[in-house]
Amino acid sequence: MDKLGQVQYDPRPVSRRQPQRHYSLDEYFAVETDSLVKHEYYGGEIFAMAAASLAHNHVSANVLALLRLGLRGSGCNAFGSDLRIHTPSGLYTYPDVSVICGPVELLSGRPDTATNPVLLVEVLSTATRDYDAGEKFGLYKACTTFREYLLIEPERVSAEQWQLKRGGRWVLKTHHRRDAAVKLSSVPAELPLAEVYREVMIA
């Protein structure tokens, strides 16, 4: 059977997607090994992740470069979208950027899957915006190490910064000026938006 023939990209939140056949984790990992496209896994279902625009790629690369430079010597490291993240909620996915402080804690038997992100960054698209800001955020919150979440628009200057406060309360800050900087609370770094949007054509 052609496994990939069963896997389609569906931008809707996982709770609203049409049921398909259920896959085991072993089947999911086999699909990932054989595929050139990344897939998200949750609740026994596999979904191909959408292709990214040029602006999306510029913003993701800029954020990764800024964090890797800014966190040098801090004990924290930034990783791009090739690092898979697993959450206790059962989600397996590839954030655009992940930051991990201290040793990377890997899922048992999976040298490609980390479980202890501190900061996660998603660059949005029309297809994924609602999911990334809603249900996916909820699934990420199951990570006990998770402290900060950035949602960045690639086509206009806009960054939503969610920070975990005492008592488990998440607080939102928004940034819309190109001359502003996102000062991170979970790691010792900041993201000047002029650099985040470097080489990006803003309408």
Task: State phi, psi for 192 to the nearest 5 degrees.
Answer: -65, 125
Q: For the chain, which domains are there?
A: 3-48 (no CATH), 54-196 (3.90.1570.10)
Q: What does each C-alpha distance from 29 to 1, 36, 196 come to in angstroms?
A: 16, 13, 33
Q: Is the pTM of this model over 0.75?
A: yes
Looking at residue 134, its pLDDT comes to 97
In this predicted model, which residue has the larger pLDDT, 61 or 126? 61
Give me the residues paired with residue 106 across strands.
114
In this predicted model, which residue has the larger pLDDT, 54 or 12? 54
Rg of the chain over Cα atoms, rounded to whole angstroms, equals 17
Confidence of residue 50 (pLDDT cuts 50, 70, 90): confident
pLDDT digits (tens, 9 = 90+) for 116-170: 999 999 999 998 999 999 999 999 999 999 999 999 999 999 999 999 999 999 9
